Structure 1
Amino acid sequence: MKRLSNETLSHVPDRVQPPAYDRTQLKAGIVHLGIGAFHRAHQAFYTEAVLNRFGGDWGIIGCSLRSASVREQLAPQDGLYTLVERSSDEEKLQIIGAVTSVMVGPEDPAALVQVMADPAIKIVSLTVTEKGYCHDPATGDLNLENPDIQHDLRHLSNPKTAIGYLVASLKARMETGVSSFTAMSCDNLPNNGEVLEKAVHQFAGQVSPELAQWIRANTTFPCTMIDRIVPATTDADREHVESVLGLRDEGTVFTEPFTQWVIEDNFANGRPQWEEVGAQLVDDVEIFEKIKLRLLNGAHSTLAYSGYLAGFEYVSEVMSEPAFVRMIETYHAREAGETVTAPEGFDIESYKAQLRDRFRNTSLKHRTWQIAMDGSQKLPQRLLHTVREQLSGKGHIDIIALGVAAWIRYVTGVDENGDPIEVSDPMAQKLREICDRTQGNPEAMARGVIALREVFGTDLIDHPVFVEAVVYWLTEFYRKGVKATVQAHFTE
């Protein structure tokens, strides 16, 4: 079967929307670090819409900072891939052409730095996940003890981290008199632009005061809020797209119809007209970000850990169990709902109901295990900021504590049947050591994990209401099992 490519693009059926612009004339204006499925379904989707309507030199050079898998998918296809928007009863297929090429950083770090230093590049965006910022989630400070950060400080011309690549390329631009780019985080972090700015400034300060000052004066770091559910593509998904296209597409991405992108309008060197294709350009992203992180991401993580342990592979399966639905409805109404205020004209109750409908989408095979990855990096912004706010005002914390307890039970690495859990987390070993040491004593286990400053800071271990709530749920999980515990507490 022939691959999707520039040569075969004319063969796609009429029901599939192709690029409406001349790709042979497309020049790159954006470098994106972390070109996974989410970027291709979200930021590249919006940029494609701009190119279709207005044209412009806003092609994307995608960069992987780890494996060559995306390059292997897209390079034989000239960067083309199919984006499939799928609801429970219909689907829409579109060929995305915004990605001009894909680089693999570890193969030639200096080459990627050179590309990022090119004057044609106006924006460097990132989806490198929370752990890619090499920061301490509890404090926001760059972790200067991180081995990769230490490597980059010693060998800045051949960096390993996203922070290292940004500083190395900004240094090259300063030294050659090239204007700076906008560094735009698109990861699920509160104040993500500020997190990125702090990490870059702290790293640059270790390199030279002159560089740090130049970056402060010339580089902007807008905050963004991104929202779209993008599950991992399966072999069955690729087979389906092949049956529709009559072409093989190794880079296809599946997503839901819903999408949202809120961007702080703070760009150093121009930008695409994203606001003309559905993005919101605003002065302050924080209110939108807080709503999304607490109502969507906090609920998603709670569903992922408890659902996985209850034996559900997909989020939609968890949402088929009435007790879990009731748990999330209560979380939306109380724990998270009590801490967010909607902007004017925003119907927050409809938003909550829409979130639950999105979680129920049976056509999106979003695995609980996928959402459960990197919990030590995600919990601070998804659940712990909320619990601190609730504790300060004596608000409800029960379901937040349940979510934390489910995470602790999950990172033990052994499920309720005694089978191993593949825990993907940068702190997996440290967490497993605590859990192994306290096995058989849920209270000691909970206290041992909550004492981890890197995740929980130094304050939460001293909040007896929070600690006791986590201990209660963890004890119940070991006594009854997660599914039975949720059913016992959230069945009407």
Structure 2
Amino acid sequence: MTLAAAAPLLTRGGLAGRGDRRPAPPPRIVHLGAGAFHRTHQAWFTARAHDADAWGIAAFTGRGPRVAEQLTAQDGLFTLVERGPDGDRFTVIDSVCEARPGAAHGRFIELMTAPETAVVTLTVTEAGYHLDARGDLDLHDSDVAADIAALRRGGAPTALRTPAGRLTDGLHRRHEAGAGPLAVVSCDNIPDNGGTLQRAVCALATACGWDATAWRVSFVATSVDRITPHTTEADLQLVTRATGWRDEAAVIAEPFADWVLSGDFPAGRPAWEDAGARFVDAVEPYEQRKLLMLNGGHLALAFRGLLRGHDTVAAAMADPVCRDALERFWDEAERTVHPAAEPAIYRAALVERFHNARIAHRLAQIAVDTATKLRVRVVPVIAAERAAGRDAAASLAIVADWATGIRTGAFGDGAVVEALADALLPGLHPADAALITGALAAPHDSKETPT
């Protein structure tokens, strides 16, 4: 029997038995996509607010019931391990008051139509938005079309397939119930995430015959930032040794955390600023900085690093060839980011964060949904460099590495150039498309020496 298996399960009752009472806060936030990042980010920010006892999170999973089952068994509690270069910090996060599988649509609607619900947050990844090449909801996507058909039939759908479908159904029913205003907060790495989600909801509502402009809802734009690697069995054993509790829902994160928000909260919100959140008039410079420099930088390291046999961000950073590819990409990306976001200062901080070898951020974890990621994290740099009369060589090298990795099976499924082009080129400026086509046709040499 392992140490973790012999330890008592982390629960609110267990903590109370040791003199640490943590009653569950009432549900006022509904979250879609209860994965690890939500727990290290939004749940952590909420738990650190001075009014946290009034703001419980009802979290719904996106792809399966496992996380919901783990959190439910632990009364919503989980341990956050903040992993710095010199040691770990263990904190029990108690802001999740309820966890449900994504299929529990009936409970989702109950919460969406409750007047007490004030905020809806989402972390469903870029692919979860089902966008077309223009960045709009793809009404021809099979899952989107199935949701529209189900919503048009009326009644109580029990198996909607997309986050946009579930959210639109909930907002429509809230409007019909007269339950009051709320804010919807996208926390995903897509440009103009608040506006993109709003347009997706409006398009889906229109397809269902509803007028979303009459709904009392605001869409808040955000930039979110915290590296959250996959939790391993060794991590769970470590949590037990450090805390004495068995915790199947523990998560790992770097110490750094950033959250920038822009928009209205008509029904109130937690005091997230207590944990360092910033509320600004325009989130775009911060969003651009994070998408291009951190997320784009991760792609540069992931593709080159996997081709060279590395498995983590820190390992790739220690390879001069990978580091050179990253620095040259950052030279291009830094020119693209608005100066208001202080990209040079952010770049210096990223070097330290990426070098944290105790954060085992797997390159294979980064190299998923790669076509979607390239379009929002690297292609804008190519476009900016080309428009400025430069060759975008470092950004195009990332595309070439991607093509090589796909073709050789280093990551993803084997594909032909035409399939790769179909994923990247639609909607691009012809000059940008020509540059990318060239990169796809002539993959970069991942073994080259640094310049």
Give 2:139's match in structure 1, choosing from 118, 141, 144: 144
Deviation at 1:347, TM superposition (A): 4.5
Contact preservation (8 Å) 2:189, 2:223: yes
Contact preservation (8 Å) 1:31, 1:60: yes
Q: What letter is aligned with 2:67? A: V
1:81 aligns with 2:78: yes
**Structure 2 matches for 1:106-125, cutoff 5 A?**
106=103, 108-125=104-121
Residue of structure 1 in register with 2:174 after alignment: 173
C-alpha distance in 2 between matches for 1:450 and 1:393: 26
**Structure 2 matches for 1:75-474, cutoff 5 A?**
75-106=72-103, 108-136=104-132, 138-156=133-151, 157-158=156-157, 159-209=160-210, 211-215=211-215, 218-333=216-331, 335-343=332-340, 347-412=342-407, 414-415=409-410, 421=411, 423=412, 432=414, 434-435=415-416, 445=417, 448-449=418-419, 451-452=421-422, 454-459=423-428, 462-463=431-432, 464-472=434-442, 474=443
SS of the equivalent of 1:223 reads strand
Q: What letter is aligned with 1:130? A: E
Contact preservation (8 Å) 2:37, 2:228: yes
C-alpha distance in 2 between matches for 1:283 and 1:301: 29
Deviation at 1:65, TM superposition (A): 2.6
SS of the equivalent of 2:352 reads helix
Residues 410 and 113 (structure 1), Cα distance of their counterparts in 2 relative to 1, 3 Å cut? farther
Contact preservation (8 Å) 1:182, 1:268: yes
SS of the equivalent of 1:379 reads helix
**Structure 1, residues 105-139: CA drift from partner, whole Å, max 9, x if none?**
22x32332222222111111100000111111x20
Residues 362 and 458 (structure 1), Cα distance of their counterparts in 2 relative to 1, 3 Å cut? same
C-alpha distance in 1 between matches for 2:167 and 2:15: 35
Deviates more, 1:347-356 or 1:183-192: 347-356
C-alpha distance in 1 between matches for 2:51 and 2:278: 18
**Structure 1, residues 212-257: CA drift from partner, whole Å, max 9, x if none?**
2323xx2111100000000010001001101111111000001001
C-alpha distance in 1 between matches for 2:87 and 2:62: 35
C-alpha distance in 1 between matches for 2:69 and 2:430: 46
Scaled by the length of structure 2, the TM-score of the pair is 0.92
Q: What letter is aligned with 1:46? A: F
Contact preservation (8 Å) 2:231, 2:250: yes
Contact preservation (8 Å) 1:134, 1:142: yes
Q: What letter is aligned with 1:253? A: V
C-alpha distance in 2 between matches for 1:175 and 1:465: 50
Contact preservation (8 Å) 2:312, 2:362: yes
Percent identical pairs in the alignment equals 34
Give 1:8's match in structure 2, choosing from 10, 14, 19: 14
SS of the equivalent of 1:24 reads coil
SS of the equivalent of 2:260 reads strand
**Structure 1, residues 429-471: CA drift from partner, whole Å, max 9, x if none?**
xxx4x42xxxxxxxxx3xx25631x532243565444433454
Deviation at 1:410, TM superposition (A): 2.1
Which aligned runs of 4 or more in structure 1 are off by greater than 6 angstroms? none
C-alpha distance in 2 between matches for 1:232 and 1:398: 32
SS of the equivalent of 1:84 reads strand
Q: What letter is aligned with 1:409? A: T
Contact preservation (8 Å) 2:52, 2:270: no
C-alpha distance in 2 between matches for 1:11 and 1:383: 52
SS of the equivalent of 2:31 reads strand
> Aligned-pair RMSD on alpha carbons?
2.0
SS of the equivalent of 2:245 reads coil
C-alpha distance in 2 between matches for 1:270 and 1:230: 28
Matched residues, number = 438
Q: What letter is aligned with 1:196? A: L
C-alpha distance in 2 between matches for 1:194 and 1:182: 13
Residues 9 and 56 (structure 1), Cα distance of their counterparts in 2 relative to 1, 3 Å cut? closer
Residues 77 and 140 (structure 1), Cα distance of their counterparts in 2 relative to 1, 3 Å cut? same
SS of the equivalent of 1:208 reads coil
Residues 245 and 167 (structure 1), Cα distance of their counterparts in 2 relative to 1, 3 Å cut? same
Structure 2 unaligned runs (5+)? 1-6
Scaled by the length of structure 1, the TM-score of the pair is 0.85
Deviation at 1:322, TM superposition (A): 1.7
Residues 25 and 368 (structure 1), Cα distance of their counterparts in 2 relative to 1, 3 Å cut? closer
Q: What letter is aligned with 1:451? A: A
**Structure 1, residues 150-175: CA drift from partner, whole Å, max 9, x if none?**
12112223222111111111111121
C-alpha distance in 2 between matches for 1:89 and 1:134: 41
Residue of structure 1 in register with 2:26 after alignment: 27
**Structure 1, residues 39-95: CA drift from partner, whole Å, max 9, x if none?**
000011100001xx2345210000013201101221111110000111111211110
Q: What letter is aligned with 2:117? A: I
C-alpha distance in 1 between matches for 2:438 and 2:149: 45
SS of the equivalent of 2:252 reads strand
Contact preservation (8 Å) 1:460, 1:466: no
